[in-house]
């Protein structure tokens, strides 16, 4: 029987993917355990995830195959200072900073690989989010879990563009009310990319003023420092979505879809909370 709290349903009909092994390891290192059992021993991996009979080990090509993947991953964590070996090369423990990092790994990966988790997180953390954005994000995750990575990026790109348009409209309205010269698209170009360029410019030029808007509306003012970077990441999603939705040499990749799904809640929260703050300034 799988242990309580296992972050994913371990597949019984195919080998574990690399990201699933990473998620399970992060969970093993950070779940509550008695002090005398705090260390992770490589040979206990399958029993830790409920495979006492060795069935999962066989599906994954044998313990040696999986242990090689685990060693490679754990030693990267060792180099990063997140995990330390304890007396042998087969036994490890997480450092304090490592536990913080690994909880983040478990939390973020959890979003992408468990059906319904992304939509639930968006609704929980962003009460004012547009349900249409949640719908497209949920459809994106469903495509991802069906190994349809290109459609996954297309669906998430639609959610992203809805957020950009709403943020653009809110900032445009506030500037118009303040008598700031209106947005003038180059040669009448009103595409998403020109709006994103304009938003990034405005957030860099007026960061202090917009930061005050966020504070006055009770929203986290930290977003003003993050917005230019998040707009850049949002633009990267737009570019991949554009290539995915039109004839092009690009073929949807697993890592692309996983990365965007993991990042999307941060983009959605920053854009939505900033939109709410700006809309509160409308006359």
Structure tokens at 77: 């964590």
Asked: is 18-113 a CATH 3.90.800.10 domain? The reply is no
Side-chain-side CA neighbours of residue 166 (13 Å): 22
pLDDT value for 137: 95
pTM of the model: 0.62
Which residue has 């633009």 as its token pair? 235
Phi, psi of 91 (to 5 degrees): -135, 130
CA separation for the pair 88, 139 (Å, rounded): 45
pLDDT value for 36: 46
- Pairing, β 40-41 against β 91-94: antiparallel
pLDDT value for 140: 92
- Residues 127 and 57 sit within 8 Å (Cβ to Cβ): no
Cite the residue boundaries of each domain of the chain with CATH code 1.10.10.2260.
18-113
Which residues are CB-contacts of 190 (< 8 A; sequence separation ≥ 6)? none
For the chain, 283 residues long, give each residue's pLDDT as a single digit of tens: 556 667 667 777 888 888 788 888 888 888 776 554 567 888 888 888 887 667 888 888 888 888 888 888 888 888 778 888 887 778 888 888 788 777 776 666 666 766 777 888 899 889 999 999 999 999 999 888 788 888 898 999 999 999 999 988 888 887 777 666 666 656 555 677 778 888 887 877 777 777 777 777 776 666 667 777 777 778 788 777 776 665 566 566 777 888 888 889 888 998 898 888 888 876 5
CA separation for the pair 165, 134 (Å, rounded): 15
pLDDT value for 52: 67
CA separation for the pair 49, 71 (Å, rounded): 17
pLDDT value for 60: 84
pLDDT value for 247: 59
């Amino acid at each position: 029987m799988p242990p309580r709290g296992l972050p994913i349903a371990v597949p019984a009909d195919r080998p574990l993917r690399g990201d699933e092994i990473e998620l399970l390891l992060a969970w093993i290192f950070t779940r509550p355990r008695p002090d005398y059992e705090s260390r992770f021993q490589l040979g206990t991996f399958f029993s830790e995830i409920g495979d006492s009979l060795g069935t999962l080990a066989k599906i994954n090509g044998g313990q040696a195959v999986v242990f090689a993947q685990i060693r490679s991953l754990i030693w990267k964590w060792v180099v990063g200072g997140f995990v330390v070996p304890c007396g042998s090369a087969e036994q490890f423990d997480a450092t304090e900073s490592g536990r913080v990092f690994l909880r983040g790994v478990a939390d973020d990966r959890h979003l992408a690989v468990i059906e319904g988790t992304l939509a639930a997180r968006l609704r929980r953390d962003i009460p004012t989010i547009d349900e249409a954005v949640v719908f497209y994000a949920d459809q994106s995750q469903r495509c991802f879990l069906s190994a349809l990575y290109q459609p996954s990026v297309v669906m998430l790109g639609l959610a992203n563009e809805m957020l950009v348009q709403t943020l653009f409209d809110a900032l445009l309205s506030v500037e118009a009310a303040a008598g700031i010269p209106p947005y003038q698209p180059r040669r009448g170009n009103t595409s998403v990319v020109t709006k994103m360029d304009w938003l990034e410019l405005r957030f860099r030029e007026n960061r202090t003023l917009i930061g005050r808007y966020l504070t006055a509306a009770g929203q986290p003012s930290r977003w003003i420092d993050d917005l230019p970077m998040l707009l850049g990441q949002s633009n990267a999603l737009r570019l991949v979505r554009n290539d995915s939705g039109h004839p092009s040499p690009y073929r949807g990749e697993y890592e692309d879809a996983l990365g965007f799904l993991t990042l999307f809640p941060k983009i959605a929260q920053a854009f939505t909370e900033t939109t709410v703050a700006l809309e509160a300034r409308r006359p």
